[in-house]
Homo-oligomer: A and B are copies of this chain.
């Protein structure tokens, strides 16, 4: 089956200045991918005639479908419409239906039509007028030079409206599209290269129509399987079968699938066994608690936290043994163990999670350099600890420590469940 290729052109100086983030191209990429159209190229250019015309030329050589956003306002720096007319070598002329729509849009809002607004109803003679019910800039559909072209305003909800009401149905009607199935495996606690070593043989065994991509992000690596075919159920079966073959080698690193986050996964594990959680944070300074509580419904399992940031409060509020602190120091396995056990007791929780470390950039010593972090998880009569040796970036140390703490908790829950 022929691959259908799409290119997205985003037009506007404000994009190149970095004054607004281009969520349009992201959204269009997502919806096209879901229906089996390959987005092969995204281009962002300014309000500049030469750039726009050469982008048109380049796009029509690459793509079957060219989706253009932006540069459609009523003001003079909006060049998309006149340049489309110039590029397709035709005039602009008044489209009564479009004028009606613009007038209606304004009268409905009790505003009167300006001359500038009327100009918005003048469209290239070669385009098909596509009504924009959300705004004043009409959509313009062209079938020229062997490609399908759609020009849309940059206002996200207007663009989405035109895509959903006209463009996507058109594309589905015009092309025989492949069926595509995506599945993401979420892993944490292992780096990209180790993961790739672990699953090397499995990866080599993948059939040609199923592609694997590594998507690393802070403390996590997502494995994305993309399957191309004719039948969705078959693809799902194939992919799920491949995953069952893969899992045994990496199970301990897999915390979820698709969009699930680590904090959601941990929350669901706690929910399922009706367990509760309390947290004692030192170096993570509230970030672990925040990750847990940003999940809706976390109040069902999260009891609360104590953050004894100043060491004195590790003894007064968390009743860590002064002797332990004197002997081993605040950043030590001994101390973090007592923190986890005591916070669990104080909140009467099933699991007590604790962190103590040197987030940096200062405060390190030869024995305990910046980036030294101790984590502990207490449950039943057990306590499991983990030591991290991170670098000197404070925010990264906080984030990575928090992720590791949640993963430590996750592994403890899984161990009980077994």
Do B26 and A40 touch across chains, with their CB atoms under 8 A apart? no
Do A307 and B294 touch across chains, with their CB atoms under 8 A apart? no
- Contact residues in B for A16 (Cβ distance below 8 Å): 29, 33, 38-42
Do A290 and B297 touch across chains, with their CB atoms under 8 A apart? no
Separation of A293 and B360 alpha carbons in the complex (Å): 11
Do B294 and A213 touch across chains, with their CB atoms under 8 A apart? no
Identify A296's interface contact among B73, B77, B217, B361, CB under 8 A: B361
Interface presence of A2 (CB below 8 A): no
Bitwise interface map of A from 386 to 417 toward B, beta carbon under 8 Å scored 1, else 0: 00011101111010000000000000000000
Do A73 and B214 touch across chains, with their CB atoms under 8 A apart? yes
Separation of A267 and B217 alpha carbons in the complex (Å): 30
Do A193 and B43 touch across chains, with their CB atoms under 8 A apart? no
Which residue of chain B has its CB nearest to the CB of A307? B305
- Contact residues in B for A38 (Cβ distance below 8 Å): 16
Separation of A216 and B136 alpha carbons in the complex (Å): 13
Interface presence of A329 (CB below 8 A): no
- Contact residues in B for A26 (Cβ distance below 8 Å): 18, 21-22
Separation of A26 and B74 alpha carbons in the complex (Å): 26
As for how many copies of this chain the complex holds, the number is 2
Do B297 and A362 touch across chains, with their CB atoms under 8 A apart? yes
Bitwise interface map of A from 206 to 233 toward B, beta carbon under 8 Å scored 1, else 0: 0000001111111000001010000000
- Contact residues in B for A363 (Cβ distance below 8 Å): 299
Interface presence of A418 (CB below 8 A): no
- The stretch among A104-112, A167-175, A332-340 that forms the contact with chain B is A104-112
Do A17 and B33 touch across chains, with their CB atoms under 8 A apart? yes
Identify A192's interface contact among B75, B218, B308, CB under 8 A: B75
Interface presence of A176 (CB below 8 A): no
Do B41 and A193 touch across chains, with their CB atoms under 8 A apart? no
Separation of A75 and B293 alpha carbons in the complex (Å): 35
Bitwise interface map of A from 39 to 53 toward B, beta carbon under 8 Å scored 1, else 0: 111111111100100
Do A285 and B296 touch across chains, with their CB atoms under 8 A apart? no
Separation of A127 and B111 alpha carbons in the complex (Å): 60
Do A305 and B309 touch across chains, with their CB atoms under 8 A apart? yes
- Contact residues in B for A41 (Cβ distance below 8 Å): 16, 43-45, 51
Do B116 and A193 touch across chains, with their CB atoms under 8 A apart? yes
Interface presence of A328 (CB below 8 A): no
Separation of A42 and B43 alpha carbons in the complex (Å): 6
Which residue of chain B has its CB nearest to the CB of A43? B43
Identify A18's interface contact among B30, B155, B212, CB under 8 A: B30
Do B398 and A294 touch across chains, with their CB atoms under 8 A apart? yes
Interface presence of A94 (CB below 8 A): no
Which residue of chain B has its CB nearest to the CB of A309? B304
Do B303 and A192 touch across chains, with their CB atoms under 8 A apart? no
Which residue of chain B has its CB nearest to the CB of A314? B304
Question: Can you list 15 contacts pairing A with B, beta carbon distance less than 8 Å?
Answer: A18-B26, A21-B26, A22-B22, A43-B43, A74-B196, A77-B213, A133-B391, A134-B396, A285-B292, A286-B288, A289-B289, A290-B398, A304-B308, A304-B310, A317-B346
- Tell me the A residues contacting B by CB distance below 8 Å: 13-23, 25-31, 33, 38-48, 51, 58, 73-75, 77, 108-111, 114, 116-117, 133-134, 136, 155, 157, 182, 184, 191-194, 196-197, 212-218, 224, 226, 279, 281, 285-290, 292-294, 296-299, 302-310, 313, 317, 346-347, 359-363, 389-391, 393-396, 398
